[in-house]
Amino acid sequence: MRHAIGILLAAAFVFLIGTGAAAVWLTGKEAVNENAKVTEEKEEKNTPIQSKDELNLYAQSAVLMDASTGRVLYGKNEDLVRPMASTTKIMTCILALERGTLSDTVTASQNAASQPKVHLGVYKGETFQLKDLLYSLMLESHNDAAMMIAEHIGGSQEGFAAMMNQKARDLGCSDTYFITPNGLDAKEEKDGQVKIHSTTAADLARIMNYCIGQSPKKEEFLDITATRSYAFADLEGKRFFSCNNHNTLLAMMDGAFSGKTGFTGGAGYSYVGAVQDEGRVYTIALLGCGWPPHKAYKWSDARKLFQYGMDRFHYRNVYKDVNLPDIPVIEGIPSSGRLDEPVLVSCSIGGEEEKSINLLLADEEEVTVQTEIPKELNAPVRKGQTVGTVIYRLNGEVVKSYPVYLTAGAERLTTVWCIKNIFHRYLSMPGVMGIIPNT
């Protein structure tokens, strides 16, 4: 009996010591957390690439864009809404490619046949293959070809315009509004507002980005817009036509591979185009780039913009190894079982994540890295649990983020665990088993 009483008293004594240690550790967690710092590099707002029109462009609105990311590398009134003339036809072309079939038979309506110059000169009832009309559209910029395509794909001019506007919204072009498939100056009243056929230089470049790099029909689009000349006939074989590409930049500049010109009295000369060089792909858009007789202004501006991109921007891998701190776990069980030790768990960027971020940057541009990790966690936590993010920013915009995972876990400290741990330690003491009476 005395032995049994002694065992109980000893167990109670050890339990009190153990819980006291636990209490000391738990109340001391604030000090542990105070020492744990969240790794975070101070974010600095990079200055814009340009603050004024340092290239002295003729265009009233212009943009140079990184086609792979949509980032504006140079802009002049790039968000100003303006008419865009026949640059409209890149949207007409890509929608026809995506919604139609190149072998479709297209019949000219009276509306199509009455479109003004520049036109193919179709007659009402005349039939053509859709493929041939797309070359007529993009090389010679024929307005009647555009209307035939629109009525064939959308059922009417209005129906096709609705498709164009929906596509613009899908691409994030919120400042673009289409009325005609050919880009002729137009306005209409919609929802109590007078709207004009218009876009911005930034939106127009985004549409071009889609046409050359993201559309499922990009290869067909590129084949058409890179063709220098093309000949075809109506389906009855009564008339024959030839087309020459008016995108002079294809011959003027190495790497130029797609584009579309435009002109109306309201829009002035316009141009949208694409150039590639050493893995870099740039798109530009020019709106209001002079009026007659200054037809060549757009080529001067285009060369300036593309050359600016080639001279100033190069790909750079901006990925950095980030030192991630261990995170204290409140009311967690130490792996050693000693309650006087703080519980810290390590973390890392996910192992499957690609450790490479290649960005098109100017020499003076820098990417900032910010680590968002909690200062402490509450037990229990599990290995592989997502607990934070490493964020890469350029000019304040997020360009890449990585999830942060725990590489170890920790169970929650409970009274039951304390009692079991105490008795386990007590029973492991030398000679203890020898004094427990046999029952």
Of 152, 161, 162, 163, nearest to 112 (Cα)? 152
Q: Tell me if domain 2-39+322-427 and domain 61-313 are identical in fold.
A: no
Q: Which residues are catalytic?
A: 86, 89, 141
pLDDT surpasses 50 at 406: yes
> What pLDDT, on the 0 to 100 scale, is given for residue 191?
83
> What pLDDT, on the 0 to 100 scale, is given for residue 428?
58
Give me the chain's average pLDDT, please.
86
What's phi and psi for 425, nearest 5 deg? -65, -40
> What pLDDT, on the 0 to 100 scale, is given for residue 420?
66
What confidence tier does 128 reach under pLDDT thresholds 50, 70, 90?
A: very high
CATH topology of domain 2-39+322-427: Peptidoglycan synthesis regulatory factor (PBP3), Domain 2 (2.60.410)
Summarize pLDDT for 19-33 with one digit per residue, the tens: 333 333 333 333 333
**Residue 238 marked in a binding site:** no
pLDDT surpasses 80 at 430: no
What confidence tier does 433 reach under pLDDT thresholds 50, 70, 90?
A: low
CATH number of this structure's domain 61-313, picked from the four choices 3.60.70.12, 1.10.15.40, 3.90.340.10, 3.40.710.10: 3.40.710.10
Share of the chain above pLDDT 90, in %: 72
Summarize pLDDT for 84-114 with one digit per residue, the tens: 999 999 999 999 999 999 999 999 999 999 9
Q: What are the boundaries of each domain within the chain?
A: 2-39+322-427, 61-313
